[in-house]
Amino acid sequence: MFSPATKRPNFSSRKDRNLGQAVPNSPITPLTENRRSLNENSIPNRPSTGTPAPWTSRLSVYARIPQLKKSEKGDEIDPVQPVYVGEFPQVVRDEQASFLQKRVPGDASIFGGMDKGTALSWIICGNKLFIWSYLTSVASKKCVVLELPSDENGDVNRNNYHANSWLLCVVDWHGTFRSVGKQQGNSAGVVLCNQKTRTVVYWPDIYAQGDVAPVISFASSDGSELNFSPGNGNITPNKLWQHSRLGSNSVGSSSFNSLIASAVPDTQHKCIALASSSNGELWQFQCSPAGIHRKQIYQEILGSSSQSNDSGNPNPIRSKGYPKSLTWRHSSLSLEKSNRQFFLLTDNEIQCFRVNFSPDLNVTKLWSHEIIGTDGDLGIKKDLAGQKRIWPLDVQVDAHGKVITILVATFCKDRVSSSSYTQYSLLTMQYKSGINISESVEPIHETVLEKKSPVQVIIPKARVEKEDFLFSMKLRVGGKPSGSAVILSEDGTATVSHYYGNSTRLYQFDLPYDAGKVLDASVFPSTDDGEDGAWVVLTEKAGVWAIPEKAVLLGGVEPPERSLSRKGSSNEGSAQEERRNLAFATNIAPRRASSEAWDAGDRQRAALTGVARRTARDEESEALLSHLFHDFLLSGQVDDSLEKLRNCGAFERDGETNVFARTSKSIVDTLAKHWTTTRGAEIVAMAVVSTQLSDKQQKHKKFLQFLALSRCHEELCSKQRESLQIIMEHGEKLIGMIQLRELQNMISQNRLAGAGSPYSSSESGISGSLWDLIQLVGERARRNTVLLMDRDNAEVFYSKVSDIEEVFYCLDRQLEYVISAELPLMVQIQRACELSNACVTLIQAATHYKNENHIWYPSPEGLTPWYCQPVVRNGQWSVASFMLQLLNDRTGLDMSLKSDLYSNLEALAEVLLEAYTGAITAKVERGEEHKGLLNEYWNRRDTLLNSLYQVVKGFVESGYQDSNEGIEEQKEVILKKLSSSLLSIAKRHEGYLTLWNICCDLNDAVLLRNIMHESMGPKAGFSYFVFRQLYESRQFSKLLRLGEEFQEDLSIFLQEHQDLRWLHELFLHQFSSASETLQLLALSQDGSSISSAEKGINPDSGTSGKKLVERRRLLNLSKIAVLAGKDADYETKIKRIEADLKILKLQEEIIRLLPSDEVVEKGMEQRLLPPRDLIELCLKAEIPELPLLAFEVLAWTSSSFRKANRSLLEECWKCAANQDDWGKLYEASVAEGWSDEDTLRVLRETMLFQASNRCYGPGTETFEGGFDEVLVLRQENMEIPNLKDSGSSVETILMQHKDFPDAGKLMLTAVMMGSVEIDVRSYEGPSPME
């Protein structure tokens, strides 16, 4: 397959190439009829099949499997080679050996596959089905063996089952496989279908205890079904086999070619399976422990194909072998949804169906999209020049269910040379924007898909294959590099296609002859970053292998430089040369297995995972440093190391890329040269762990000595502080790992001594949570770095010292798998305490190392220690919050358990809070925003400390539930003793609420004062908090008396609490300041400077603030304070206070005149209205008395207010003029012939007269000047230039009145008469208007 096009007269030679096995573990020589003369080959002595075995030395695949673990020298690692992940379980190996001995040449070979969703791999060998996880390196402990039903002769393969024709689906009942590597709590079913006979076998739960009995369904001749369950006793297996053989002719030529299965939500071990048949049928199987019900739901999914046949006949022909492929749109089932969608690939379309789970299982078609037609924008355009036939071969969907990838083969004929060839390509489709298919209920008739990118040609010209061979090809998507795909073919090859550098590159998974075929390919499940891992391949004989992303990037070649078939490449030398050129051109250096290979985790690293862009200068400086350090270890001499390293640029980079930091990392992350990986949990107790960690510690100390003696330490301390910090942190992590190992060893020994039996496996409830955590962290590292997949989880954990933060990452993300909610309460508490102890031990060991070696550390300003990083804090908080939940939700806990839980949580809380303070300090020193981190710290601090104190109080109360009188003193003594350590933590971290509660419960005023003196934080620290507590509880006298000892702190507090500040100022005899405070308090708007505690001062106060009577009281107190102080301007202050009192009284009068419902609705009785609001209220109310009160309010405001609001004063005059009907008055004066005495008598009753008398009369009282400074009566009286320019006067305002042309004389007379306060009875002389 996939080699340059040649004429192939015989296909059987390739197909039968693996059927015989004359000599074990030897290559098979190509058949004679397949050999050509040397003249027909461009390479001498090369057969046409391209098989390299006869003339090239290809070692056995077992030579590639590392017998000893690699040391830190990684030069022997080929970066483009696949990586060995793990061996088959031993039971599989035993069955394979037995099967190979028993089988007859010509029988079908071993068959198997991989399930991406559950990370399970499976193999059918003989009459047994083996299922195990390909994620674990110790596979032998977790392999499920299922017996396949056999016929009466006990033979499965030769007669009925065809071992190479199985379709298998795993049904994950709980969706837990991808989340965690442990499989003990999982539950999964298996649906197995034979393609030829259409027999379906269903195991409801392969992890169930005891024998797992399958449910079987056989296809019958009349299209009906026969079910068999070993427990029903109604029919024997022999009769079923006989019935199946009788109906085999009806099954005949058609066979199943694709199978998918899904759990049915809200049911017990019930699933639905769907199978497509090569004759155009779609079958549905409802599987349950009671039986399997099969139903044909579509008989003719596709009609006639419009593609031309090979002979050029344009008449439509029916496409055999279709529908070809089924796949779910989303790989996982959401238990909340009642339906699920799947895609079906036909000869020219993609069809989408929906499975409705409730109320009844049914399948409906949603839409279809033509991918092979006349419109090239919708897919692949057919009937182009040279095209003969197009085959869609397989379809896959990405993890998000949005991108659909189709593998397509096109049979073409070159018109020039008349040679035929096959072109392979990938068609990528995606949903059109704006179309919501998920919520669609009715069928969709519009176009739903569009091309995501142009058709990607994998092989432009490959050999022509038979149709059966094409249909055997499978497509896999989702692995790294992102966007890559794997194509599997019948001849057992696997090829990775990756679009790189504007061209398609191909990487062939190639193992020696004795590895057998590639059975299937999958990807390592994602950890938590949402992206899947590297490609993983299941072989027939050599176990499981992985294809690193780096291998695909470096080893990929442009087609057809490398063939995708097992038959080799036409130019292998050029492929190797291109590989070297690519590595040189992209500046990518192969990395060491001990240090750089670790870096493929999920931290922020280079854009290409596992590939570090480093210059040749970096490589040179690191090699020089390694050489110099090695010489130092041998001789103890440093010579001119500093100068040499300077010259090669060793000090140019800072941080993790610094060569000194990288060397330090390689020291602490060195892999063990020898390690036993088959003893499971016992590995922790082995001396090799301690020996390796001790060797690393000694070597790291030697490295620090080398830095000091060579004076590199000084250079790093002054110029690369971050790099030196990382180097020292490696020492911290190393000592922490040593302590963690000792803790695990002690736990194991204690458990052995307590159980009296060998160490329990992790499936048992007494398995330590620390051990399970080690397994999680190790497995996460193995998933992220395929070079480690063949190693044990514990080995990876104890070797990967520099990434010890992953411990806390797993605690944060996967704590529910370490401490399951299904465990007994006592076990949950024990496991939580074990994890808490591990966290505290680890951090305390690191801090102790730092304290002992502080002179080695750089200046700490702006540097964040590793144990202060967010991932570490979040992991600790996850454990702490779980322990809090145990303490708060379990009231009936045993006292000893509760005490252990409390002590562990208290220690963990202290470590966690210290981490927060370190992180905040670093952010402040760097000048970064830290408000969010500070709030998180405060919230978690208060939650921890307050909860812990409540537990302490519970301890005291539970010990004295039936106590007599006089026992309170004993309670206080015990409370003081139990809370002493918590008190010290609260002091260090300013846990003021906890400190306050302890002091109050102990009734210890001396302790309270001592803490107030010690704690001087921002805003007076603890003193401020105490004052606020007293204030909120309305203990004002205690607050002020306590403030006598802390006057400065009290002054800071009272700046925000004016309602008590004046009392403190009176105590200090600051009468003038007290007066100002009282006046400000009385005139403050509600809620601005009056806290909620003010509600308790006056029992009559409302809910929104002080009433007006309370404000009047404060103003009178302010007046008394002024009189008591009698400073230089006390008279002016008294006048201002009296003016405020008058305005306050005016508001009361205005409120009295307004409708009561309006007053209540606007809450006027509860708040102080500003003067402007009062005036506008008077002008709008249309109450005769109110306009005059508006002038009264203006009179008692300041002169500056009147000047700033002159327009408001003008509105007041306009309103006053509108209060009387001047037109009627004028008509009455003319009609009745008023005398001057009558005119004056009538005008005295008008609003203009009263307003003029209030503003301009001889006895007018105002504050700070009169109205004439803002608005004069007559224009001729305007003596101030700026007023004259503005032309503003009462007269000009009245001239704008509608009645002024007729009654203007009367209006002006009223204004002028009011300004002189003329008495009608004594009036003599001419009218003022004259």
Give the residue among 536, 527, 534, 546 at the shortest CA–CA distance from 178. 527
Q: How far is CA 1223 from CA 107, 685, 1298, in A?
A: 123, 113, 9
- Give the type of residue at 281: E
pLDDT reported for residue 104: 55
Q: What is the pLDDT of residues 479-490, one digit of tens each?
A: 888 889 999 988
Q: Tokens representing 289?
A: 């422990």
**Res 137 pLDDT > 80:** no
Rounded distance, CA 435 to CA 542, Å?
47
pLDDT score recorded for residue 1154 = 85
Which of the listed ranges 457-471, 741-755, 1281-1295 does the model predict with the highest average pLDDT?
457-471
pLDDT digit string, tens, across residues 1132-1163: 888 888 888 888 888 888 888 888 888 787 77
Q: Give residue 56's pLDDT.
A: 35
Q: Can you list the positions of beta strands (E) in 186-263?
A: 188-194, 200-203, 215-219, 225-228, 256-263
Please provide the DSSP assignment of 858-923 as one string.
Answer: ---TTPPPGGGSHHHHHHHHHHHHHHHHHHHH-TT--HHHHHHHHHHHHHHHHHHHHHHHHHHHHH
User: What is the bridge-based pairing of β-strands 380-381 and 372-373?
Assistant: parallel
Confidence of residue 704 (pLDDT cuts 50, 70, 90): very high
Q: Give the pLDDT band of residue 529 (cuts 50, 70, 90).
A: low
**Burial level of 1244, CB count in 10 A (0-12/13-18/19+)?**
middle
Instruction: Answer yes or no: is pLDDT of 273 > 90.
Output: yes
DSSP 8-class letter at 1016: -
Q: What is the pLDDT of residue 524?
A: 85
Dist. CA 355–CA 343, nearest whole Å: 11
Q: How many CB atoms lie within 10 A of CB 207?
A: 17
- Determine what percent of the chain is predicted with pLDDT higher than 70: 75
Lookup: tokens for 327: 């796949």
What lies within 8 Å, CB to CB, of 1245 at 6+ separation is none
DSSP string computed for 464-507:
---HHHHHT-EEEE--BTTT-EEEE-TTS-EEEEEEETTEEEEE
**Mean per-residue pLDDT of the chain:** 77
- Comparing 170 with 468, the larger pLDDT belongs to 170
Instruction: Check pLDDT > 90 for residue 255.
Output: no
pLDDT digits over 905-958, tens only?
999 999 999 999 999 999 999 999 999 999 999 999 999 999 999 988 888 887
Lowest mean pLDDT across 314-323, 819-828, 902-911: 314-323
pLDDT at 151 over 80: no
Q: Are 277 and 255 in contact (CB under 8 A)?
A: yes
d(C-alpha 1220, C-alpha 1213), whole Å: 12
Work out the percent of the chain whose per-residue pLDDT is above 90: 22
Place of tokens 């789970």: 357
Q: Which of 227-231, 982-986, 1073-1077 shows the lowest per-residue confidence on average (mean pLDDT)?
A: 227-231
pLDDT score, position 343: 92
pLDDT at residue 691 tops 80: yes
Question: Which residue is associated with the tokens 């008469």?
Answer: 1313
Residue 241: band (very low, low, confident or very high) from pLDDT cuts 50, 70, 90: very low
Token reading at 1268: 């004439």
Please state the length of the chain. Answer: 1330
Residue 207 pLDDT: 86
The structure tokens listed for 157 are 């393969």
How many angstroms separate the CA atoms of 463 and 220, rounded? 40
Q: Residue 977 pLDDT more than 60?
A: yes
Distance (Å, whole) CA 311 – CA 349: 23
Residue 610 above 50 pLDDT? no
Quote the DSSP letter at residue 425.
Answer: E
Q: 1086 falls in which pLDDT band (50, 70, 90)? A: low
Q: Where are the alpha helices (DSSP H) in 69-204?
A: 90-102
Please tell me the distance from the alpha carbon of residue 373 to that of residue 1126, in angstroms, as a whole number: 102
Q: What is the pLDDT of residue 1018?
A: 63
Tokens standing for 1123? Answer: 């009189």
Q: What's the pLDDT at 890?
A: 65
The more confident residue out of 1192 and 416 is 1192
Tokens of 983: 């008190």
For residue 1228, pLDDT over 50 is answered with: yes
Residue 52 in this model has a pLDDT that exceeds 60: no
Does residue 587 or residue 544 have the better pLDDT?
Answer: 544
Higher pLDDT pick, 182 / 1273? 1273
Residue 626, Cβ neighbours under 10 Å: how many?
A: 16
Q: Comparing C-alpha atoms, which of 105, 108, 141 is closest to residue 124?
A: 108
Q: Please give the biggest Cα pair distance in the chain.
A: 151
Structure tokens at 14: 């390739």
pLDDT digits (tens, 9 = 90+) for 1-27: 554 444 443 433 333 433 333 333 333
pLDDT band at 1324 (very low <50, low <70, confident <90, very high): very low
- pLDDT confidence tier of residue 200, bands split at 50, 70 and 90: very high
Element (H, E) at 1253: helix 1247-1256
Of 109 and 608, the structure prediction assigns the larger pLDDT to 109
- 197, pLDDT greater than 70: yes
Where residue 247 falls among pLDDT bands split at 50, 70, 90?
Answer: very low
Closest CA to 600 of 700, 689, 669: 669
Please list, in sequence order, all residues whose beta carbon lies within 8 angstroms of the beta carbon of residue 5, skipping any fewer than 6 positions away.
419, 420, 421, 422, 461, 462, 463, 464
- The model scores a pTM over 0.75: no
6-45 burial: b if 16+ Cβ within 10 Å, else e: eeeeeeeebeebeeeeeeeeeebebeeebeeeeeeeeeee
Predicted confidence band at 253 (pLDDT cuts at 50, 70, 90)? low
pLDDT value for 123? 92
Among 212-216, 909-913, 1225-1229, name the most confident range.
909-913
Q: Provide the pLDDT for residue 1105.
A: 52
Q: How far is CA 724 from CA 720, 858, 866, in A?
A: 6, 7, 13
Say which residue the tokens 């458990």 belong to.
751
CA distance 760 to 455: 55
Measured from the Cβ of residue 993, the count of other Cβ atoms closer than 10 Å reads: 16
Q: Report d(CA 1118, CA 933) in Å as an integer.
A: 45
Mean pLDDT along residues 58-68? 55
- Which residues are CB-neighbours of 1317 under 8 A, at least 6 positions away? 1253, 1257, 1258, 1259
Look at residue 543 in the predicted model and tell me its pLDDT: 87
